[in-house]
Structure 1
Amino acid sequence: MLEDKIYAALKNIVGPENISRDPAILETYAYQWCNEVDNTLKGREPSRFGQRPEAVVLPGSAEEVQAIVRLCNEHDIKFKALSTGQGAWAGVTVPRAIQIDLRRMNRILEINVQNRYAVIEPYVTNAQLQAELVKHGLIHNAQGGGPQTSPLASHTSFVGPSFTSSHTGFSGRNLLGAEWVLPTGDIVRVGSFNYSGEWFSGDGPAFSLRGVFRGGYGAYGGLGVFTQCAIRLFSLPIPKDWKWEIKGTVPDYEWNLPPYWKMFVLNFADWDTFTEAFYEVNDQDMSMMAMASSAEGLATMFTNTREAALEAIFAGLLVKTQRYFVVMVTAHTEREFDYRTKFLQAILKKYGGQDLIEEGVVTAQPMHYAEGLRNSLGNHAFRFTSCFQSTHGGLDTIAMSVKIGIVNQPIKQKYIEKHVIGDDRGEGIWITGYEGGHMAHLEVPTVYDPSSPESCRGYAYYQDECNKADISNALGIPFFIVGDAFHDSYGPNVMDYPRWLRKIKAAFDPKGVSDPGHYVSSKPREGST
Structure 2
Amino acid sequence: MIPQEAFEALRQVVGPEYISQEPEVCRAYTLKDRGFHTSEARLLGRDPVCVVLPGTTEEVQAIVKIANRYKIGYTPASTLWFPQAGPRFDNCLFIDLKRFNTLEIDPINMNATCGSGVIFAQLQAEALKYGLYTMVPGGGSQVGVVPNHLIWSFSPLTYRTGMANRRIMGCEWVLPSGEVVRLGSLASGSDPFWGEGIGPDLRGILRGSIGWFGSLGIVTKMCVRLFPFHNEPLVPTGISPDTYLKFPEHRMKWYNFTCPSKDALVNFMYDLGHAEIAAAATRVPVAWRYIAKAKSKEDFWEVWNKPEGKEAEVTGSHVLRVLLVGYTSEKQLQYEEKVLMAIAEKHGAEHRRTFQGDQSWMQSADSVSMWWLTGAFMSVTGQVDTIDCGIKTGVEFAKLKKKFEPPMMPDYGDQGWFQTNDFGHSGYLEFLNYWDPNDKEEMIHRMDEYYQIAGPKLLIRCGALSFFIQTDSPLSLDGPNYGPNYHKFARKVKDALDPLYNCNPPGILDVIDEVVEKAPWLKEKKDWEGGPDPRAIEGFGV
Is the shorter-chain TM-score for this pair beyond 0.5, marking a shared fold? yes
Using a 3 Å threshold, how does the CA distance of structure 1 residues 470 and 256 change in structure 2: closer, same or farther? closer
Matched, 1:37 2:32: no
Question: Which residue matches 2:395?
Answer: 406
Mapped to 2, the partners of 1:14 and 1:129 lie a distance apart of 27
| Consecutive unaligned residues in structure 1, runs of 5 or more | 40-45, 358-362
Using a 3 Å threshold, how does the CA distance of structure 1 residues 222 and 409 change in structure 2: closer, same or farther? same
| Count of matched residue pairs | 507
Question: Which residue matches 2:330?
Answer: 334
Which residue, 345, 369, 372 being the options, matches 2:361? 372
Question: Which residue matches 2:208?
Answer: 215
Bigger drift between 497-506 and 167-176 goes to: 167-176
Shift of 1:271: 2.4
Using a 3 Å threshold, how does the CA distance of structure 1 residues 84 and 428 change in structure 2: closer, same or farther? farther
- The correspondence of residues 428-439 of structure 1 with structure 2, limited to 5 A, is 429-439=416-426
Mapped to 2, the partners of 1:75 and 1:442 lie a distance apart of 44
Shift of 1:298: 2.7
Shift of 1:143: 1.8
Using a 3 Å threshold, how does the CA distance of structure 1 residues 461 and 283 change in structure 2: closer, same or farther? farther
Alignment TM-score, normalising by the size of structure 1: 0.89
Mapped to 1, the partners of 2:183 and 2:300 lie a distance apart of 46
- The correspondence of residues 192-211 of structure 1 with structure 2, limited to 5 A, is 192-211=185-204
For each residue in 1:446-485, what CA deviation from the matched residue of structure 2 results, as whole angstroms up to 9, or x when unmatched? 11112224443332222231111011221224424249x7
Shift of 1:8: 1.5
Residue identity matched to 2:394: G
Question: Which residue matches 2:520?
Answer: none
Shift of 1:383: 4.5
Indicate conservation of the 8 Å contact 1:482/1:517, yes or no.
no
For each residue in 1:403-451, what CA deviation from the matched residue of structure 2 results, as whole angstroms up to 9, or x when unmatched? 11111111112212xx201111131622232211111221111111122
Alignment TM-score, normalising by the size of structure 2: 0.87
- The correspondence of residues 73-112 of structure 1 with structure 2, limited to 5 A, is 73-108=68-103, 110-112=104-106
Mapped to 1, the partners of 2:366 and 2:401 lie a distance apart of 23
Bigger drift between 261-270 and 299-308 goes to: 299-308
Question: Which residue matches 1:42?
Answer: none
Indicate conservation of the 8 Å contact 1:265/1:325, yes or no.
yes
Bigger drift between 471-480 and 62-71 goes to: 471-480
- The correspondence of residues 124-143 of structure 1 with structure 2, limited to 5 A, is 124-143=118-137
Mapped to 2, the partners of 1:450 and 1:443 lie a distance apart of 21
Indicate conservation of the 8 Å contact 1:222/1:519, yes or no.
yes
- The correspondence of residues 2-401 of structure 1 with structure 2, limited to 5 A, is 2-31=2-31, 35-39=36-40, 47=42, 50-108=45-103, 110-156=104-150, 158-239=151-232, 242=233, 244-253=234-243, 255-258=245-248, 259-301=250-292, 305-306=296-297, 319=313, 322-331=317-326, 332-357=328-353, 363-366=354-357, 369-376=358-365, 378-401=367-390
Q: Percent identity?
A: 29
Shift of 1:168: 1.9
For each residue in 1:377-421, what CA deviation from the matched residue of structure 2 results, as whole angstroms up to 9, or x when unmatched? 5423234213210011122111111111111111112212xx201
| Consecutive unaligned residues in structure 2, runs of 5 or more | 515-528, 534-542
For each residue in 1:264-292, what CA deviation from the matched residue of structure 2 results, as whole angstroms up to 9, or x when unmatched? 12222332222111122234332222221
Using a 3 Å threshold, how does the CA distance of structure 1 residues 352 and 226 change in structure 2: closer, same or farther? same
Please report the RMSD computed on the Cα atoms of aligned residues, expressed in angstroms: 2.7
Mapped to 2, the partners of 1:76 and 1:400 lie a distance apart of 45
Using a 3 Å threshold, how does the CA distance of structure 1 residues 113 and 449 change in structure 2: closer, same or farther? same
Using a 3 Å threshold, how does the CA distance of structure 1 residues 266 and 238 change in structure 2: closer, same or farther? farther
Mapped to 2, the partners of 1:95 and 1:30 lie a distance apart of 11
Mapped to 1, the partners of 2:82 and 2:229 lie a distance apart of 30
Indicate conservation of the 8 Å contact 2:185/2:198, yes or no.
no
Shift of 1:303: 5.9
For each residue in 1:78-124, what CA deviation from the matched residue of structure 2 results, as whole angstroms up to 9, or x when unmatched? 1111011112111122223211011111121x211111110001111
| SS of equivalent residue, structure 1 residue 192 | helix
Using a 3 Å threshold, how does the CA distance of structure 1 residues 375 and 48 change in structure 2: closer, same or farther? farther
Indicate conservation of the 8 Å contact 1:172/1:214, yes or no.
yes
Shift of 1:327: 1.0
Residue identity matched to 1:391: V
| SS of equivalent residue, structure 1 residue 373 | coil
Mapped to 1, the partners of 2:18 and 2:371 lie a distance apart of 33
Indicate conservation of the 8 Å contact 2:247/2:253, yes or no.
no
